[in-house]
Amino acid sequence: MRVALGADHAGVHLKEAVHSLLQSRGIDVHDFGTVGEASVDYPDYAAKVGRAVASGEADLGILACGTGLGMAIAANKIAGVRAAPVVDLESARLAREHNDANVLALGARVTSPEMALQIVAIFLDTSFAGGRHQRRLDKITALDNDRHC
């Protein structure tokens, strides 16, 4: 499995913790930055990670900013990306099982590092359930194809 990682200045320390977790699991990590605490713009990192996932270069993406919201909003502008901002364990499971989310967005200012790492572990360990959920995903893909931009 290949995972693309990205964060802004608010999420950079959480990103490092996620990076370590992924490495400890033997996962191939492509870290798009940021490095350090200098202020940067989260859409730039959402775009890098989102494009890596949408192109198939990465299987999954994980983003971190202050709330996870801006990263998810930006990443979801990229066709093929299904980014889920997640703050609890049940949503982490359902984001994969029902929505086949391919990008996880974490909020370092709203979620403790311990909780965030548990969310990541569940996100990685849960598979898409398919069945009736596939029909709904197909409708989301159709919305991607309808975009005029």
Q: Do residues 93 and 67 lie in contact, with contact meaning Cβ atoms separated by under 8 Å? A: no
Nearer to ligand RB5, 8 or 100 (CB): 8
Nearest-CB residue for ligand RB5: 70
Minimum distance, C-beta of residue 69 to ligand RB5, in the bound complex (Å): 4
How many H-runs (helices) and E-runs (strands) does the chain carry?
6, 5
Transcribe 124-145 into DSSP letters.
HH-----THHHHHHHHHHHHHH
Q: Which of residues 35-74 bind ligand RB5 (CB under 6 A)?
A: 42, 65-67, 69-70
Residue 83 makes contact with ligand RB5 by CB under 6 A = no
Query: Among this protein's residues, is 149 annotated catalytic?
Result: no
Minimum distance, C-beta of residue 124 to ligand RB5, in the bound complex (Å): 23
CA distance linking residue 15 with residue 130, whole number of Å? 30
CA distance linking residue 119 with residue 109, whole number of Å? 15
Contact residues for ligand RB5, defined by CB under 6 A: 8, 10, 42, 65-67, 69-70
Residues recognised as catalytic: 65, 98
